[in-house]
Amino acid sequence: DAKTTQPNSMESNEEEPVHLPCNHSTISGTDYIHWYRQLPSQGPEYVIHGLTSNVNNRMASLAIAEDRKSSTLILHRATLRDAAVYYCILRGYSGGSNYKLTFGKGTLLTVNP
């Protein structure tokens, strides 16, 4: 499985934007970039995913580098509820759905009031 690299932890202030980086230099052409987050005492929660183009949804934006070797999850205005572990995951597809998500240790985001 292609590997991702994320900082162990990051800190932000409430109501400020947060940029969470992820490196995936061995990404293949069929790998989608997925982001999940895990709040304390909960299961992971889907945030966003993309292939080549930047993506926006109600939770966040995903900026993907032109060579696809890195990406950045952007939370436009952090709230205390955004404090969580954020996982960047490559999800490969080869003729069918792939439910094997390979999680790393993720980035622990702390949001200060």
Q: Which residues bind other proteins (CB under 8 A)?
A: 32, 34, 41-46, 49, 51, 85, 87, 91, 93, 95-106
Q: What's the closest the beta carbon of residue 16 comes to other proteins, in angstroms? A: 26
Please give, one letter per residue, the 3-state secondary structure of the chain: CCCCECCCEEEEECCCCEEEEEECCCCCCCCEEEEEEECCCCCCEEEEEECCCCEECCCCEEEECCCCCEEEEEECCCCHHHCEEEEEEEECCCCCCCCCCCCCCCEEEEEEC
Q: What's the closest the beta carbon of residue 61 comes to other proteins, in angstroms? A: 16
Q: What's the closest the beta carbon of residue 93 comes to other proteins, in angstroms? A: 6
